[in-house]
């Protein structure tokens, strides 16, 4: 299982890679441990998970009005196991930004910053089992309440049933 | 004697409730108990919402009642379940419960090849299948780093804008029918039939086409398509104006839609609500203008916006969007370039069938593409298009195999549904249906 | 579902039987059970172009107590299955079920954890209509087959 992309490593004295765009540069100034890179031509920032909420608040103040999406990816044998992927959209600057945060079991919730993250985080919890700290109502949203297991994890089988021909039966 | 007993058995069958049903239909009711969730709800809504949304401090136990609506209910918007807290006739709080149509499409998507991917995603927002396919195909093409020929791009624009018209026709039809204007249901579906007939001639299916694939489209437009498209555009222009005339100044329609289901622009942005709902609040945001895709920037069209953010404005935005889409369709038909309908990169596009007899290489490519699937370089990307309900995006992670490692679709209705409790707060029960209809949620999109 | 169930069979009831079956098949009230994409095709079948009204079926009853046909149009998820059963149980006899579409009949293309693989695991089905989604003509064929079966006494 290859890692999804080559994230540039930070050397101690070297200046790190910075985006050309001024808004993004300004955003990254307060976060020396954030690593920016380009993924298929799109801006991606890798963050340590403790700084997620802070970065989100700074981004929101810096012009990213809309939270586009919150989702996760299960990299089974890697530590941290999951990647939580947050897509942001700035309408006034016409920019998109993707934040990728590694998480094992818990991650900070973005609901205090954008209430629209509510359902998306519930879905990530439901599908992956990642707990969002400070989420107002972290319960299952897509699966029944008493469902066991987290379906989108790689160790959860697809659950396919072998196709068989059923004998026709009379219905009264 | 036995016949009489059988008769009695028949009469009482169907009235007993199996025990296990009670446990599953009560789910969610716990969360709405006042002591706990009031605090949570206030916290949840308090951060960015403007002051005119006031949470009532006095909660008297004997006046409030929790009513369950759905998942099977007369409003034709799919299996949405609402738990509504009523104070008399006024709705105070709402909790949508979803998941009744969860199909595990994202999990299935990991087992399908990239060429089969559109069959899966097309069934998510089933009223806008071309938009789902387009978002998926754009994401895969970005990872592949290939360019789609101009004819394919224009075909895509033609089909997606026709899809916007057909989706808005359903929205208009069901919106009208839910409010009581029953004839608009018949009219909307009648005009939709013409568009669906065109889809059937082009793609082979009326719905869920799997036509827009990574690399281009599955086939070229059928002969005689220009006449069909012209007939559709003329029909839409004439009829949609008629429907607008019928409803716009109608006092009953105005009474049931003006000032109902109001949401402000700040609330929309806070809750990630996009699409006609956001545009009805006055924010001019359309991904076709902001981040143009598939060559749509060469066509001129306007983005209609409302001002009040109520049901009436959403209805007007949809009517105008239909007319603007008709404009785009007309321009696309006129400007349709000649050329290939799919990229000629042989690693991605299967060779034409007649070459399979002649060339060994063509045979091998055909075999590999249809069994193993073409391989996509490792990477991750997110591509979004403007669907009829808002920003429809596709996030794909590839590890170099023939299947995606992760497929996630950013469903517009999923986020739009978060605005429902705000729109319904402090309105009457009778406005509930109008509000849901104007939000136009598609549960396939919400639950995936 | 004929009159024969409730009264002993003799020569006097054959005409009443036929009349009852004729009434049942010519005036069915479907319950609104549209779930997914098939629901849109079901609505299209009820609309003007394909017109279910000519078969006496344009009145889709929202309440299952007033319906006698349940067209399960769409994919049935694990969460929806108990609701489906409850709605089926609430329908009074005689009742019929049409499983519309590939997902309702067998789980369709979604052979996974989330869907019930065939709605006949939850309710007894009379007619299966294949397709993804079945066009209105296929659904009409299924409905008319059901009508014929009722008239013949086999449904």
- Which pLDDT tens digit goes with each residue over B330-385? 999 999 998 888 888 877 888 777 777 788 888 888 888 888 888 889 999 999 99
Mean pLDDT to the nearest integer, B304-330: 92
The structure tokens listed for B9 are: 């058995």
- Antiparallel, parallel or unpaired: β A82-90 and C96-100: unpaired
Q: Are B86 and B92 in contact (CB under 8 A)?
A: yes
> Is the Cβ pair C39, B6 closer than 8 Å?
no
SS3 C70: strand
Residue in B406, B417, B441 to test binding to A, most A beta-carbons within 10 Å: B406
What's the CATH code of the domain at A31? 3.30.460.80
pLDDT score at C5: 53
By Cβ distance, the residue of A2, A42, A142 closest to B399 is A2
Beta-bridged to residue B176, according to DSSP, are none
Q: What span, in angstroms and rounded, lies between the C-alpha atoms of B42 and B52? A: 14
What are chain B's partners, defined as 3 or more CB pairs within 8 angstroms? A, C
Judged against a pLDDT cut of 50, whether residue C1 lies above it is answered with no
Of the CA atoms within 13 Å of residue B66, those in its CB half-sphere come to 16
User: Residue B106: which of A74, A96, C88, A3 has the closest Cα?
Assistant: A74
**Helix or strand or coil: residue A47?**
strand
CB-closest option in C78, C80, C133 to B208 = C133
Answer yes or no: do A137 and B37 touch at CB < 8 A.
Answer: yes
The pLDDT of residue C13 is: 67
Q: How far apart are CA B406 and CA B129, in angstroms?
A: 20
Assign residue A40 a region (left: φ > 0; alpha: ψ between -120 and 50; beta: otherwise).
Answer: left
Task: Please provide residue C18's backbone torsions phi and psi, each rounded to the nearest 5 degrees.
Answer: -65, -40
At B317, is the secondary structure helix, strand, or coil? helix
For A36, residues 6+ apart whose C-beta sits below 8 A from its C-beta are A16, A17, A18, A19, A24, A28, A43, A44, A45
Report how many domains make up chain A: 1
Q: Do C113 and A151 touch (CB under 8 A)?
A: yes
Q: Is B448 inside any structural domain?
A: no
Average pLDDT over residues B56-61: 54
Q: Dihedral (C-alpha) B68, B80, C40, B394: value to the nearest 10 degrees?
A: 180
H helices of B145-224, in order, are 150-179, 182-203
- Return the pLDDT at B402: 86
For every one of its 172 residues, what pLDDT tens digit does chain A have, with 9 covering 90 and above?
344 455 555 444 445 677 777 888 888 888 888 888 888 888 899 988 888 999 999 998 888 889 999 999 999 888 889 999 999 999 988 889 999 999 888 899 999 999 889 899 999 999 999 999 988 888 888 988 888 889 999 888 887 777 766 665 555 4
CA C130 to mean position of chain CA atoms: 14
DSSP H or E run through B274: none
List the structure tokens of B323: 């007319």
A41–B400 C-beta distance less than 8 A: no
Q: In angstroms, rounded to a whole number, what is the distance separating the alpha carbons of residues B301 and C44?
A: 30
What is the residue range of A152's domain?
2-169
CB contact under 8 A, C111 and A160: yes
CB-closest option in C37, C64, C114 to B123: C37
Domain count for chain B? 1
Q: Quote the percentage of chain B above a pLDDT of 90.
A: 44
HSE of A119, CA atoms in CB hemisphere, 13 A: 28
β-bridge mates for residue B385, sequence order: B392
Which CATH number is B182's domain given? 1.10.645.10
Sequence-ordered list of residues with C-beta below 8 angstroms from that of C32, at least 6 positions apart, any chain? B72, B74, B76, C60, C61, C62
The closest alpha carbon to A47, from A75, A3, A85, belongs to: A85
Computed on alpha carbons and rounded to an integer, the radius of gyration of chain B in Å comes to: 24
**Cβ atoms within 10 Å of B180's Cβ, excluding its own:** 12
Distance in angstroms (rounded) separating the CA atoms of residues B81 and C80:
11
- A94 closest CA partner among A21, A18, A39: A21
Contact C101, C136 (CB under 8 A): no
Q: How many other CB atoms sit within 10 Å of the CB of residue B221? A: 22
Closest listed residue to residue B82, CA positions, set B102, B68, B92: B68
Closest of B79, B13, A169, B76 to residue C95, by C-alpha = B13
Q: Is residue B47 part of a domain?
A: no
Residue labelled with tokens 């249901």:
B185
Which sign, positive or negative, has the C-alpha torsion B70, C130, C24, B7? negative
CA pair distance A72, A124, nearest whole angstrom: 6
d(CA B308, CA B285): 16
Look at residue B12 in the predicted model and tell me its pLDDT.
Answer: 32
B185 touches chain C (CB under 8 A): yes
* B54 falls within a domain: no
Averaged pLDDT of chain B? 83
Partners of A117 on chain B (C-beta within 8 Å) are: 272
**Which among A55, A43, A62, A155 has a CA at the least distance from the CA of A101?**
A55
Q: Do A163 and C111 touch (CB under 8 A)?
A: yes
Residue B12 neighbours by CB distance under 10 Å: 8
Q: Is residue B64 part of a domain?
A: no
Range of the domain at B281: 105-416
> What interface predicted TM-score (ipTM) does this complex get?
0.86
């Amino acid at each position: 299982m290859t890692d999804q992309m080559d994230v540039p490593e930070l050397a101690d004295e070297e200046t790190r890679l910075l985006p050309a765009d001024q808004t993004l540069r300004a955003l990254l100034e307060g976060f020396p441990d954030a690593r920016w890179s380009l993924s298929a031509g799109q801006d991606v920032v890798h963050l340590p998970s403790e700084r997620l909420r802070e970065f989100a608040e700074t981004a929101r103040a810096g012009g990213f009005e809309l939270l586009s999406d919150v989702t996760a990816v299960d990299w089974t044998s890697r530590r941290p196991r999951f990647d939580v992927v947050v897509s942001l959209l700035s309408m006034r600057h016409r920019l998109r930004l993707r934040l990728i945060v590694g998480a094992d079991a818990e991650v900070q919730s973005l609901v205090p910053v954008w209430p629209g993250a509510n359902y998306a985080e519930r879905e990530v919890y439901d599908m992956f089992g990642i707990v969002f700290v400070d989420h107002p109502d972290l319960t299952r949203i897509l699966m029944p309440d008493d469902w066991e297991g987290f379906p989108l994890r790689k160790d959860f089988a697809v659950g396919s049933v072998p196709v068989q021909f059923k004998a026709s039966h009379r219905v009264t | 004697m036995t016949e009489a007993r059988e008769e009695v058995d028949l009469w009482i069958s169907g009235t007993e409730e199996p025990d296990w049903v009670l446990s599953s239909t009560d789910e969610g009711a716990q969360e709405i108990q006042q002591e706990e969730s009031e605090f949570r709800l206030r916290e949840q809504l308090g951060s960015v919402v403007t002051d005119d949304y006031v949470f009532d401090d006095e909660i008297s136990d004997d006046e409030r009642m929790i009513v369950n609506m759905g998942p099977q209910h007369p409003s034709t918007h799919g299996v949405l379940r609402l738990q509504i807290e009523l104070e008399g006739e006024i709705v105070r709080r709402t909790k949508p419960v979803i998941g009744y149509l969860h199909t595990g499409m994202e999990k299935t998507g990991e087992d399908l090849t990239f060429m089969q991917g559109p069959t899966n995603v097309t069934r998510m927002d089933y009223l806008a299948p071309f938009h789902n396919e387009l978002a998926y195909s754009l994401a895969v093409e970005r990872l592949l780093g290939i360019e789609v020929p101009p004819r394919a791009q224009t075909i895509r624009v033609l089909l997606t804008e026709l899809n916007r018209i057909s989706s808005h026709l359903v929205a208009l039809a069901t919106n009208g029918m839910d409010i009581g204007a029953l004839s608009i249901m018949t009219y909307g579906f009648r005009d939709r039939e013409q568009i669906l007939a065109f889809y059937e001639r082009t793609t082979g299916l009326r719905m869920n086409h799997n036509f827009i694939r990574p690399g281009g489209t599955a086939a070229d437009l059928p002969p005689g398509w220009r006449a069909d498209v012209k007939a559709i555009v003329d029909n839409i222009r004439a009829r949609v104006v008629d429907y607008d005339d019928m409803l716009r100044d109608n006092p009953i329609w105005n009474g049931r839609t003006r000032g109902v289901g109001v949401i402000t622009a700040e609330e929309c942005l806070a809750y990630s609500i996009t699409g006609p709902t956001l545009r009805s609040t006055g924010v001019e945001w359309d991904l076709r203008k902001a981040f143009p895709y598939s060559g749509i920037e060469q066509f001129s069209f306007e983005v209609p916006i409302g001002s009040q953010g109520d049901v009436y404005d959403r209805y007007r935005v949809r009517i105008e969007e239909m007319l603007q889409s008709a404009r785009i369709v007309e321009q696309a038909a006129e400007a349709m370039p000649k050329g290939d309908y799919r990229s000629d990169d042989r690693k991605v596009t299967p060779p034409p069938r007649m070459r399979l007899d002649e060339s060994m290489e063509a045979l091998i490519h055909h075999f590999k593409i249809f069994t193993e699937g073409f391989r996509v370089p490792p990477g991750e990307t997110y591509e979004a298009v403007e669907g009829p309900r808002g920003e429809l995006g596709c996030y794909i992670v590839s590890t170099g195999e023939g299947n995606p490692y992760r497929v996630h679709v950013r469903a517009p209705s999923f986020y739009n549904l978060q605005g429902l409790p705000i729109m319904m707060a402090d309105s009457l029960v009778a406005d509930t249906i109008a509000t849901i209809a104007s939000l136009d949620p598609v549960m396939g999109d919400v639950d995936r | 579902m004929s009159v024969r169930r409730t009264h002993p069979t003799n020569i006097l009831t054959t005409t009443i039987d036929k009349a009852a079956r004729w009434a049942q098949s010519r005036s069915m009230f479907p319950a609104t059970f549209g779930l997914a994409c098939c629901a849109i095709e079901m609505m299209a079948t009820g609309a003007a172009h394909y017109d279910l009204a000519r078969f006496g079926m344009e009145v889709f009853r929202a309440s299952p107590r007033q319906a006698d046909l349940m067209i399960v149009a769409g994919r049935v998820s694990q969460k929806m299955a108990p609701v489906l059963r409850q709605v089926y149980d609430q329908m009074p006899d005689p009742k019929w079920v049409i499983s519309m579409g590939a997902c309702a009949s067998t789980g369709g293309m979604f052979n996974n954890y989330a869907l019930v693989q065939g709605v006949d695991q939850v309710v007894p089905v009379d007619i299966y209509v294949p397709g993804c989604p079945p066009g209105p003509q296929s659904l009409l064929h299924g409905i008319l087959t059901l009508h014929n079966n009722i008239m013949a006494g086999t449904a």
